[in-house]
Amino acid sequence: MQTVTMEVKNEDVADAIRTLLGRILALDEIDAVMVPGRLPGSRSVMPLLIHDPDQLDNSDPLSPAFALNAAKQVCRLTRTATPKRVAAVLRPCEIRAFIELVKLKQGLREQVIIIGSDCPGAYPNKIFDALTREGDDSGADHGYVKRPSVDESSLSKACRACEHPMPTGADLAVCLWGVDTGREVMVDAQTDSGREILDRLGLKATPLPDQRAAAVETVVAERTRFRDSMFAETAAATDSLEKLDHYFAHCVNCYNCRTACPVCYCRQCVFETNLFDHDPLQYLSWTRRKGMIKMPTDTIFYHLTRLAHMSTACVGCGQCSNACPNDIDVMSLFRTVAHRTQAAFDYQAGRDVAERPPLSEFREHEFADTAGLHWRKEA
């Protein structure tokens, strides 16, 4: 079966998705479902691994919270083969990150049924916290689903600049845009596994509505415009080393951006090794040469190296900015650079599990003008 419809009652789209998850969890071959949900007694929304169908009431599959990119959690569940599979509800950027991690041998794609949905975007942690603190406890449903005209400015910048809000790569795609979500949501199978699952759920088949393509295009066009102006602003703000220094002036080398990054998969980052426990004389030699240095050192070195190491895998989820204690706009810079590095290799992170990461392969005949002395004679 290709596409099915799920009835929406009382305009509660999230509940329709919960019903879908309940049916999937009831299948013999599915052991558990990972889905964002409220921790009991808390305002916090985190990925929950649910085995007991009764616990699905805690799930909040369309929550506007985005505490972490759950791709690494899916890797924990799929590192080795298990007798049964799990299902996971993921944002499009989490799906892309997981696909990158599968390529890097951190998880097994076939061990998980991925359920994605059109992504209206998420709030930064601080804004979600403030909103729920003010007593807006309705978080079960995403305001943007109900009110397409919601003021987007409170959404995370990464989400506003996200030109891939579709759950590409998911087994099952929950379609919200171009669908009358007051009445129904549609679930579209995007893989063979997805079709097999739908066949066994006993739901009503339906074609996708014609207006869907146009609705998707509108969202993508708006976000692409936002993204392009973000690229231009960020490039202008960092086009010299001095400006780059200013951009990261508040960086305290906490490496939270690295920890939060779903595609930074090294067990131990070189920046956390004793390679950077410099001899005291080294610092003195630097300050003698420059007259003054900032402590801790190696800040720009760290960010440039991370750009070189992971920008080709950057999926633009924005968790680096979310994790920064000093509100540095890390995401804008990483996306700006990643856009160029991925284009250089005709690559798009998370697009296709069959594509190999650009730096893990090579061709004999390529990039002819990269080798040999070639001068760009600027004016």
Partner 1 sequence: MQSFEPLIIAFVCNWCTYTAADLAGTSRLTYPSNVRLIRVMCTGMVDPQYIIKAFLEGADAVLVSGCHPGDCHYINGNFKARRRIRLLKEILPQFGFEADRLQLTWIGASDGIQFTQTMRELTERTRELGPVASRSQMVF
Regarding 43 and contact with partner 1 (CB under 8 A), the answer is: no
Q: How far is the CB of 258 from partner 1 (least distance, A)?
A: 14
Tokens 């990039």, residue? 367
The secondary structure element, H or E, covering residue 225 is helix 212-237
Q: Minimum distance between the CB of residue 256 and partner 1, rounded to whole angstroms?
A: 19
Site string for partner 1, 344-373 (x = CB under 8 A): xx------------xx--xxx-xx--xxxx
Residue 359 Cβ, how far from partner 1 at the closest point, in Å? 6
If the CB atoms of residues 241 and 353 are measured against partner 1, the closer one turns out to be 241
Tell me whether the omega of the peptide bond preceding residue 167 falls within 30 degrees of 0, making it cis.
no
Scan residues 245-274 and list those touching partner 1 (CB under 8 A): 245, 270
Q: What is the rounded distance in angstroms from the CA atom of residue 298 to the CA atom of residue 312? A: 22
300, amino acid identity = I
CA torsion sign, 108 to 112 to 116 to 121? negative
Does the footprint of partner 1 cover residue 332 (CB under 8 A)? no
> Residues 146, 212, 309, 351: which binds partner 1 (CB under 8 A)?
309
The dihedral sign for the CA sequence 240, 331, 159, 341? positive
Asked if 207 and 5 touch (Cβ cutoff 8 Å), the reply is no
DSSP three-state, residue 19: helix
Rounded CA-CA distance 14/64 in Å is 12
Work out whether 337 is an interface residue with partner 1 (CB under 8 A).
Answer: yes
Report the nearest approach of partner 1 to the CB of residue 318 (Å): 20
Q: Tell which residue, 154, 170, 71, 54, has the closest CA to residue 118.
A: 170
269-308 footprint of partner 1 as x/- string (CB under 8 A): -x-------------------x-xxx--xxxxx--xx-xx
283 with 296: CB under 8 angstroms?
no
Using CB under 8 A, pick the residue from 215, 235, 276, 355 that binds partner 1: 235
Between residue 170 and residue 189, which ones bind partner 1 under the rule CB under 8 A?
Answer: none
Report the nearest approach of partner 1 to the CB of residue 124 (Å): 25
CB-based contacts of 275, cutoff 8 Å, min separation 6: none
Q: Which of 155, 341, 349, 350 binds partner 1 (CB under 8 A)?
A: 341
Positions in the binding site for partner 1 (CB under 8 A) = 235, 238-245, 270, 290, 292-294, 297-301, 304-305, 307-309, 311-312, 336-337, 340-341, 344-345, 358-359, 362-364, 366-367, 370-376, 378
